[in-house]
Structure 1
Amino acid sequence: MALALCLAGVPLPALTLEAPAPADPIATLVKQLELERYKATIKGLTQFGDRRQGTERNRRALDWIEAWLKANGCMNTERLQYEYTEPTKRNPAPPQPARAGGPAGQGGSTLFGQRAPTSVNTDPNAQPDEKLRALNAEPTPEGTSMRENVYCTKIGNTRPDEMYIVGAHMDGIGWGEAANDNGSGTALVMELARIFSQPGVETERSIRFILWNNEETGLHGASAYVAQRRELQGIESPKGSGKYPEPKWLGMVQHDMMMFDHGMPVMQRDAQGKPLLDAKGQPRYAPPREQRAEADVNIEFQSTSKHAEGAAKLAWHFRAANDKYATDYPAAVGFHMTNTDSVPFMDWAPAISLRENERGMQIGAGWNPHWHQPSDLFSSYSDKDFLLGLNAAQTTLAAIAELVGARVKR
Structure 2
Amino acid sequence: MQSKHALAAAALATACLTAYAQLAPVDAADPVAPLVNQLDLDKYKATIKGLTQFGDRRQGTARNRAALDWIEAQLKSYGCTNTERLRYEFTEPVKRGPAQLQPLRAGGPAAQGGGTLFGKRASTGVNTDPMAQPDEKLRALNSEQTPLGTGPRESVYCTKVGTTRPDEMYIVSAHMDGIGFGEAANDDGSGTALVMELARVFNAPGVTTERSIRFILWNNEETGLNGAHAYIAQRKDLQGIESPKGSGLYPEPTWLGVIQHDMLLFDHGMPIPKLDAAGKPVLDARGQPVYTAPKEQRAEADVNIEFQVNAKQAEGAAKLAWALRAANEKYATDYPAAVGNRMTNTDSVPFMDLVPAVSLRENERGMQIGAGWNPHWHQPTDLYSTYSDKDFLLGLNASQTTLAAVAQLAGARGKP
Equivalent residue, structure 1, for 2:6: none
1:230 maps to 236
- Superposed counterparts of 1:208-227, under 5 Å: 208-227=214-233
- The answer to whether the 8 Å contact 2:75/2:200 transfers is yes
Work out whether residues 118 and 367 of structure 2, in 8 Å CA contact, stay in contact via their aligned partners in 1. no
Aligned to 1:272: 278
**Aligned-residue offset at 1:89:** 8.4
Report matched runs for 1:62-81 at 5 Å.
62-81=68-87
Give the distance between the partners of 2:163 and 2:113, measured in 1 at CA.
49
Listed one character per residue, the Cα deviations across residues 281-325 of structure 1 (whole Å, up to 9, x for unaligned) are 221101100000000000000011110000000000000000000
Q: Distance in 1 between matches of 2:326 and 2:274?
A: 38
The equivalent residue for 1:10 is: none
Alignment partner, residue 334 of structure 2 = 328
Structure 2 unaligned segments of length 5 or more: list them: 1-26
1:263 aligns with 2:244: no
Give the structure 2 partner of residue 99 of structure 1. Answer: 107
Identify the match of residue 404 of structure 1 among 386, 390, 410. Answer: 410
Q: In 2, Cα distance between the equivalents of 1:401 and 1:289?
A: 35
Deviations 1:175-204 (A, max 9, x none): 000000000000000000000000110100
SS of residue paired to 1:75: coil
TM-score (norm 2): 0.90
Residue 125 of structure 1: how far off its partner (Å): 1.1
**Equivalent position to 2:184, from 155, 178, 188:** 178
TM-score (norm 1): 0.91
The equivalent position to 2:37 in structure 1, one of 26, 31, 37, is 31
Task: Compute the displacement of 1:95 (Å).
Answer: 1.3
Question: 2:358 matched to which residue of 1?
Answer: 352
Provide the C-alpha distance between the structure 2 equivalents of 1:338 and 1:309, rounded to a whole number of angstroms: 17
Alpha-carbon offset, residue 24 of structure 1: 1.7
- Relative to structure 1, is the Cα distance of residues 103 and 358 closer, same or farther in structure 2, using a 3 angstrom cutoff? farther
**Percent identity over paired residues:** 76
1:24 aligned counterpart, secondary structure:
coil
Which digits, 9 at most, give the CA deviation of each residue in 1:133-158, with x for residues without a partner? Answer: 11111012665310001000000000
Tell me what 2:314 maps to: 308
Do the aligned partners of residues 71 and 393 (structure 1) sit closer, same or farther apart at CA in structure 2, a change above 3 Å counting? same
Structure 1 pair 113–141 and aligned structure 2 pair: CA distance change class (3 A): closer
- 1:140 alignment partner, one of 138, 146, 151: 146
Q: Specify the code of the residue in structure 1 equivalent to 2:104.
A: Q
Separation (CA, whole Å) in 2 of partners of 1:141 and 1:375: 19
| 1:343-366 residue CA offsets vs partner (Å, 9 max, x unmatched) | 010011000000000000000000
Residue 253 (1) aligns with residue 264 (2): no
Deviation at 1:271, TM superposition (A): 3.1
Q: Which amino acid aligns with 1:184?
A: S
SS at match of 1:366: coil
Alpha-carbon distance change, 42 to 404 in structure 1, aligned in 2, over 3 angstroms: same
Which sits farther off after the overlay, 305-314 or 264-273? 264-273
Contact in 1 for aligned 2:157/2:215 (Cα 8 Å)? yes
Q: Deviation string for 1:20-67 (max 9, x for gaps)?
A: x75321000000000000000000000000000000000000000000
- For residues 170 and 111 of structure 1, what CA distance do their matches in structure 2 show? 32
Q: What CA deviation, in whole Å up to 9, does each residue of 1:82-140 have, x standing for no partner?
A: 000265987553211113985459xxxx8331100101000111100011011111012
CA RMSD, 1 decimal = 1.8
1: distance between equivalents of 2:148 and 2:291? 37
Note if contact 1:215-1:341 (Cα within 8 Å) is conserved in structure 2.
yes
Are 1:54 and 2:60 an aligned pair? yes
CA deviations over 1:189-226 (Å, ceiling 9, x no partner): 00000000001101000000000000000000001001
For the residue of structure 1 that corresponds to 2:86, the secondary structure is strand
SS of the residue 1:320 aligns to: helix
| Paired residues, number | 386
CA contact (8 A) 1:297 1:355 kept: yes
Structure 1 stretches lacking a partner, 5+ long: 1-20
Cα drift, residue 255 of structure 1: 0.1
Q: What one-letter code is carried by the residue in structure 2 that aligns with 1:169?
A: H
Among 39, 42, 46, the residue aligned to 2:48: 42
Counterpart check, 1:283 vs 2:283: no
Aligned AA for 1:182? D
> What is the CA deviation profile of residues 355-401 of structure 1, one whole-angstrom value per residue up to 9, with x for unaligned ones?
00000000000000000000000000000000000000000000000
Question: Using the alignment, how far apart are the partners of 1:380 and 1:239 within structure 2?
Answer: 52
Contact 1:102 1:112 in 2 (8 A): no
What amino acid is aligned across from residue 205 of structure 2 in structure 1? P
Aligned letter for 1:278?
A: D
The structure with the larger Rg is 1
Tell me what 2:11 maps to. none
**1:340 equivalent among 337, 346, 350:** 346
Residue of structure 2 in register with 1:389 after alignment? 395
Q: Distance in 1 between matches of 2:399 and 2:207?
A: 17
- What residue number does 2:8 align with? none
The amino acid of 1:273's aligned partner reads G
Q: Does 1:166 align with 2:156?
A: no
For the residues of structure 2 that align with 1:385 and 1:139, how far apart are their CA atoms?
30
Match of 1:242 among 248, 268, 284: 248
Structure 1 residue matching 2:145: 3-state secondary structure: coil
CA contact (8 A) 1:104 1:364 kept: no
